[in-house]
Chain A
Amino acid sequence: MFQRILALILKELQAQLRDPDSRRLLIIPVILQLILFPFAATLEVKNNTLAIYNQDIGVHSVELIQRFAQAKAFSHLLILHSVNNVRETIDNQRALLEVSFPSDFSRNIESGKTAELQVIIDGRRSNAAQIAASYLEDIVNTYQQDLQLQTNSPAPISEISVRNWFNPNLEYQWFILPCLIAIITTVGSLVVTAMSVAREREQGTFEQLLVSPLTSGYIMIGKIFPALMVAIVQATIILAASIFVYRVSFQGSILLFYFCMLCYGLALSGIGLFISSISSTQQQAFLGIFGFMMPAVLLSGFIAPIENIPEPLRALTWFNPIRHFVVICKGIYLKGFDMTFIWPDLWPLLAIAMLALFMAYVMFRRFSK
Chain B
Amino acid sequence: MLSPLDVPSKNNFAIFLDGVIKKFPSKKEIAPALSSISAKIKRGCITGLVGPDGAGKTTLIRIIAGLLTRSEGGLSVEGLDPSIDTDQLRTILGYMPQKFGLYEDLSVIENLILYADLRGVFGNERTTEFEKLLDFTDLKQFTTRPAGKLSGGMKQKLGLACALLGHPKILLLDEPSVGVDPISRRELWKMVNMLISEGITVIWSTSYLDEAEQCGEVLLMNEGKLVYSGTPQALTTKIVGRAMQVQNIQGDHRLVLQRALRAKEVMDGVIQGKNIRLVLREEGTLPNIKLLIAGEHAKLVSVKPRFEDAFIDILGGAPSGDSVLTKVTKPVPSFMQSDAVIEAQALTKMFGTFTATDGISFKVKRGEIFGLLGPNGAGKSTTFKMMCGLLIPTSGNAHVMGIDLQKRARQARQQIGYMAQKFSLYGDLSVQQNLEFFSGIYGLSGKTQHDKISEMIDIFDLQPYLSTTTNELPLGFKQRLALACAIMHEPAVLFLDEPTSGVDPITRREFWTHINGLVGKGVTVMVTTHFMDEAEYCDRVGLVYRGALIATGTPDELKQLATNHQHPEPNIEDAFIFLISKHDEEHQKIDATLNSSTISTSSTKKYSDKKNVFTASTRRLMALCKKEFFQITRDPSSILVAFILPMLMLFIYGFGLNLDSSKIRLGLVMDDMSPEAYRFENAFFDSPFITAIPMKNQADAAKQLTAGNIRGFVMIQSNFSVRLKNPNGIAPVQIITDGSEPNTANFVTNYAMGAWQIWQQQRGVETGNPASDSISIVPRYWFNPAAISRYYLVPGSIAIIMTVIGAILTSLVIAREWEHGTMEALLSTPMTRMELLFSKLIPYYLLGIIAMMVCLVVAVTVLGVPFRGSVFLLFIETSLFLGSALGLGLLLSTVTRNQFNAAQGALNIAFLPAMILSGFVFEITSMPVVIQALTYLIPARYFVSSLQTLFLAGDIGFLLLKDGLFLLISALIFLGLTAKFTRRTLD
- Asked if A and B are interacting partners, one says yes
Partner-B contacts on A (CB < 8 A): 1, 3-4, 6-8, 10-11, 14-15, 18-19, 21, 24-25, 28-29, 32-33, 36-37, 39-49, 90-93, 96, 108-109, 112, 114-131, 133-134, 136-137, 140, 143-144, 147-148, 153-168, 170-172, 174-175, 178, 195, 199, 203-205, 207-215, 282-284, 286-287, 290-291, 294-295, 298-299, 303-305, 307-310, 313, 327, 330-331, 334-335, 337, 341, 344, 368-369
Residues of A within 8 A of B903 (CB): 283, 286
Contact A203 to B931, CB < 8 A, known contacts A161-B734, A172-B742, A208-B418: no
Contact check, A15 vs B413: say whether CB atoms are below 8 A apart: no
Q: CA of A322 to CA of B736 in the docked complex: distance in angstroms?
A: 27
Contact check, B441 vs A4: say whether CB atoms are below 8 A apart: yes
Contacting A123 at CB < 8 Å: which of B392, B410, B763, B783?
Answer: B783
Top 5 closest pairs, chain A to chain B, by CB: A7-B440, A123-B784, A167-B739, A164-B739, A123-B783
Contact check, B739 vs A166: say whether CB atoms are below 8 A apart: yes
Contact check, B908 vs A170: say whether CB atoms are below 8 A apart: no
Residue B563 at the chain A interface, CB threshold 8 Å:
no
Of A45, A166, A211, the most chain B CB neighbours within 10 A belong to: A211
Residues of A within 8 A of B550 (CB): none
Contacting A42 at CB < 8 Å: which of B663, B749, B780, B926?
Answer: B926
Can you name 26 A-B pairs with beta carbons within 8 Å? Answer: A10-B440, A42-B927, A43-B922, A45-B926, A47-B925, A48-B926, A91-B953, A92-B958, A114-B775, A121-B787, A123-B785, A128-B925, A134-B750, A140-B777, A144-B775, A163-B735, A166-B740, A208-B424, A211-B413, A212-B418, A215-B409, A287-B640, A298-B653, A304-B658, A305-B744, A331-B740
For the complex formed, measure the closest distance between the CB of A82 and the CB atoms of chain B, giving whole angstroms.
17
Contact A207 to B390, CB < 8 A, known contacts A18-B428, A128-B923: yes
Residues of B within 8 A of A210 (CB): 389-390
For the complex formed, measure the closest distance between the CB of A92 and the CB atoms of chain B, giving whole angstroms.
5
Mark each residue of chain B from 89 to 113: 1 if its CB lies under 8 Å from any CB of chain A, else 0: 0000000000000000000000000
For the complex formed, measure the closest distance between the CB of A71 and the CB atoms of chain B, giving whole angstroms.
13
Question: Which stretch, B46-54, B257-265, B268-276, B701-709, touches the partner chain A?
Answer: B701-709
Nearest-neighbor residue (CB-CB) of B416 within chain A:
A211
Residues of A within 8 A of B753 (CB): 160, 162
Nearest-neighbor residue (CB-CB) of B425 within chain A:
A205
Residue B586 at the chain A interface, CB threshold 8 Å:
no
CB contacts under 8 Å to A, within B891-930, are 899-901, 903-904, 907-908, 912, 916-917, 919, 921-923, 925-928
Q: CA of A330 to CA of B740 in the docked complex: distance in angstroms?
A: 7
Nearest-neighbor residue (CB-CB) of B812 within chain A:
A283
For the complex formed, measure the closest distance between the CB of A74 and the CB atoms of chain B, giving whole angstroms.
10
- Across the A-B interface, how many residue pairs have beta carbons closer than 8 Å? 399
Contact check, B769 vs A154: say whether CB atoms are below 8 A apart: yes
For the complex formed, measure the closest distance between the CB of B498 and the CB atoms of chain A, giving whole angstroms.
12
Contact check, B655 vs A313: say whether CB atoms are below 8 A apart: yes
Contact check, B656 vs A117: say whether CB atoms are below 8 A apart: no
Q: CA of A309 to CA of B654 in the docked complex: distance in angstroms?
A: 10
For the complex formed, measure the closest distance between the CB of B660 and the CB atoms of chain A, giving whole angstroms.
7
Contact check, B948 vs A211: say whether CB atoms are below 8 A apart: no
Contacting A170 at CB < 8 Å: which of B732, B746, B764, B789?
Answer: B746
Contact check, A32 vs B657: say whether CB atoms are below 8 A apart: no
Contact check, B789 vs A127: say whether CB atoms are below 8 A apart: yes
Q: CA of A55 to CA of B919 in the docked complex: distance in angstroms?
A: 33
Q: CA of A45 to CA of B919 in the docked complex: distance in angstroms?
A: 12
Q: CA of A157 to CA of B495 in the docked complex: distance in angstroms?
A: 91
Residue B79 at the chain A interface, CB threshold 8 Å:
no
Interface residues on B, range: 35 or more
Nearest-neighbor residue (CB-CB) of B637 within chain A:
A287
Contacting B775 at CB < 8 Å: which of A143, A295, A299?
Answer: A143
Contact A368 to B390, CB < 8 A, known contacts A124-B953, A126-B789, A213-B410: yes
Contact check, B952 vs A114: say whether CB atoms are below 8 A apart: no
Residue B593 at the chain A interface, CB threshold 8 Å:
no
For the complex formed, measure the closest distance between the CB of B549 and the CB atoms of chain A, giving whole angstroms.
22
Contact check, B641 vs A287: say whether CB atoms are below 8 A apart: yes
Residue B13 at the chain A interface, CB threshold 8 Å:
no
For the complex formed, measure the closest distance between the CB of A327 and the CB atoms of chain B, giving whole angstroms.
6
Nearest-neighbor residue (CB-CB) of B720 within chain A:
A158
Residues of B within 8 A of A19 (CB): 428
Contact check, A175 vs B741: say whether CB atoms are below 8 A apart: yes
Contacting A158 at CB < 8 Å: which of B661, B724, B900?
Answer: B724
CB contacts under 8 Å to A, within B376-410, are 388-392, 409-410
Of A14, A108, A157, the most chain B CB neighbours within 10 A belong to: A157
For the complex formed, measure the closest distance between the CB of B207 and the CB atoms of chain A, giving whole angstroms.
19
Contact A14 to B760, CB < 8 A, known contacts A165-B739, A308-B663: no
Contact check, B774 vs A36: say whether CB atoms are below 8 A apart: no
Nearest-neighbor residue (CB-CB) of B808 within chain A:
A290
Q: CA of A286 to CA of B767 in the docked complex: distance in angstroms?
A: 68
Contact A18 to B469, CB < 8 A, known contacts A10-B440, A211-B390: yes
Residue B818 at the chain A interface, CB threshold 8 Å:
no
Contact A109 to B738, CB < 8 A, known contacts A3-B445, A210-B389, A298-B657: no
For the complex formed, measure the closest distance between the CB of B491 and the CB atoms of chain A, giving whole angstroms.
10
For the complex formed, measure the closest distance between the CB of B328 and the CB atoms of chain A, giving whole angstroms.
22
Contact A39 to B784, CB < 8 A, known contacts A15-B429, A213-B414, A291-B645: no
Contact check, A125 vs B792: say whether CB atoms are below 8 A apart: yes
For the complex formed, measure the closest distance between the CB of A195 and the CB atoms of chain B, giving whole angstroms.
8
Residue B436 at the chain A interface, CB threshold 8 Å:
yes
For the complex formed, measure the closest distance between the CB of A5 and the CB atoms of chain B, giving whole angstroms.
9
Contact check, B916 vs A41: say whether CB atoms are below 8 A apart: yes
Beyond A126-B781, A160-B733, 13 extra complex contacts between A and B, CB < 8 Å: A40-B927, A114-B773, A122-B783, A140-B775, A144-B773, A157-B760, A157-B764, A159-B730, A299-B656, A305-B661, A308-B661, A313-B656, A368-B390
Contact check, A3 vs B444: say whether CB atoms are below 8 A apart: yes
Residues of B within 8 A of A140 (CB): 775, 777
Contact check, A294 vs B959: say whether CB atoms are below 8 A apart: no
Mark each residue of chain B from 643 to 675: 1 if its CB lies under 8 Å from any CB of chain A, else 0: 001001100110111111111110000000000
Contacting B778 at CB < 8 Å: which of A4, A15, A119, A164?
Answer: A119
For the complex formed, measure the closest distance between the CB of A17 and the CB atoms of chain B, giving whole angstroms.
9
Contacting B426 at CB < 8 Å: which of A15, A109, A123, A369?
Answer: A15
For the complex formed, measure the closest distance between the CB of B956 and the CB atoms of chain A, giving whole angstroms.
5
For the complex formed, measure the closest distance between the CB of A75 and the CB atoms of chain B, giving whole angstroms.
8
Residue B238 at the chain A interface, CB threshold 8 Å:
no
For the complex formed, measure the closest distance between the CB of A121 and the CB atoms of chain B, giving whole angstroms.
5
Contact check, A158 vs B388: say whether CB atoms are below 8 A apart: no
Residue B756 at the chain A interface, CB threshold 8 Å:
yes
Q: CA of A186 to CA of B667 in the docked complex: distance in angstroms?
A: 34
Of A92, A126, A127, A136, the most chain B CB neighbours within 10 A belong to: A126
Contacting B732 at CB < 8 Å: which of A3, A159, A341?
Answer: A159
Contact A11 to B437, CB < 8 A, known contacts A144-B773, A283-B637: yes
Residues of B within 8 A of A11 (CB): 426, 429, 433, 436-437, 440
Q: CA of A309 to CA of B738 in the docked complex: distance in angstroms?
A: 19
For the complex formed, measure the closest distance between the CB of A168 and the CB atoms of chain B, giving whole angstroms.
6
Contact A114 to B772, CB < 8 A, known contacts A119-B780, A308-B657: yes
Q: CA of A127 to CA of B921 in the docked complex: distance in angstroms?
A: 8
Q: CA of A43 to CA of B495 in the docked complex: distance in angstroms?
A: 62
Residue B330 at the chain A interface, CB threshold 8 Å:
no
Q: CA of A44 to CA of B427 in the docked complex: distance in angstroms?
A: 49
Residues of B within 8 A of A123 (CB): 781-785, 787, 791-792, 952
Residues of A within 8 A of B752 (CB): 160
Residue B25 at the chain A interface, CB threshold 8 Å:
no
Contact check, B912 vs A344: say whether CB atoms are below 8 A apart: no
Q: CA of A137 to CA of B754 in the docked complex: distance in angstroms?
A: 11
Contact A117 to B776, CB < 8 A, known contacts A125-B792, A163-B737, A167-B740: yes
Contact A92 to B645, CB < 8 A, known contacts A134-B746, A208-B424: no
Contact check, A305 vs B776: say whether CB atoms are below 8 A apart: no
Q: CA of A112 to CA of B775 in the docked complex: distance in angstroms?
A: 10
Contact check, A6 vs B742: say whether CB atoms are below 8 A apart: no
Residue B771 at the chain A interface, CB threshold 8 Å:
yes
